Amino acid sequence: MLFSPELIGPQPFTHWALLCWLLCGGVLAWALWRAPWNAILRVSSRQHALLGALVGLCLIWSFRFEVIPGLHFHPFLMTTVTLVFGWCFALIMGASALLLLVLMGTVDWQTLPWTWLFSAALPATMAYALLRTIEWLPTRNLFVYILGLGFFGTLLTTFLNCLLLLGFFWLLLPDKALLALWDKQAFVVPLLYSEGFINGMLVTSVTVFFPDLVKTFDDERFLKSDS
């Protein structure tokens, strides 16, 4: 989701904005430090996949629809990015895509931390948490990974992200903004379906045809297990 200064406010260094800048900067710095760069640099196909995914994010995030004045939604695709590249690279790619969109004039730099938080950080973190939950389960069914994470997992994380957005509006924005968003609550239904369908299709395709590129996919567990 993309925010505009008319919604958040024109001042980028208010109390809450400065806190968000520091929080997002710290999390992104941690991701840059912890990211497995060697795994990307030593395999050219992974580099191509990473750059291709970054370009794809920029293009897809450029297609957006306005829910209320100052708030635009776009396909997140962070479930797919997180499953293929891992949590750290999902945050890095989300930030890189938004920086490119800032240079293109599509995203306002004043609202960059809020946009990154709801477009990349929260969806990627929830997808990663769901992945760890599924890994904890004893099941070895391939469809649990493909559908449980790719489709139904995306439905869940997108719905939770929308709830967090409501909480953000309730805590930090004027009541009229919260009421305007609540009046448009029906947009959640097509958003959930489209997000689940796109991510489910992408996760299934990449896992089936290019399993070696999917960082979080354990073929020993889901493909080669006897039980």
Confidence band, pLDDT 50/70/90 cuts, at residue 19? confident
Rounded CA separation 34/165 (Å): 28
**69 SS3 class:** coil
Q: Above pLDDT 70, what percent of the chain?
A: 92
**36 SS3 class:** coil
* Token pair in block for residue 115: 């946009």
Rounded CA separation 36/41 (Å): 9
Note the pLDDT of residue 137. 77
Confidence band, pLDDT 50/70/90 cuts, at residue 227? very low
Residue 226 pLDDT > 50: no
Q: Does domain 2-222 have CATH number 1.10.579.10?
A: no
- How much is the mean pLDDT over the chain? 85
- Residue 86 falls in which region: left (phi positive, over 0), alpha (psi -120 to 50) or beta: left
Note the pLDDT of residue 81. 93
Note the pLDDT of residue 10. 58
Render pLDDT for 28-69 as a digit per residue (tens, 0 to 9).
999 999 988 888 888 888 888 899 999 999 999 988 888 888
183 or 202: which leads in pLDDT? 202
Residue 109 pLDDT > 70: yes
Query: Rounded to two decimals, what is the model's pTM?
Result: 0.89
| Cβ pair 142, 223 in contact under 8 A | yes
Render pLDDT for 131-173 as a digit per residue (tens, 0 to 9).
888 888 777 777 788 888 888 999 999 999 999 998 888 887 7
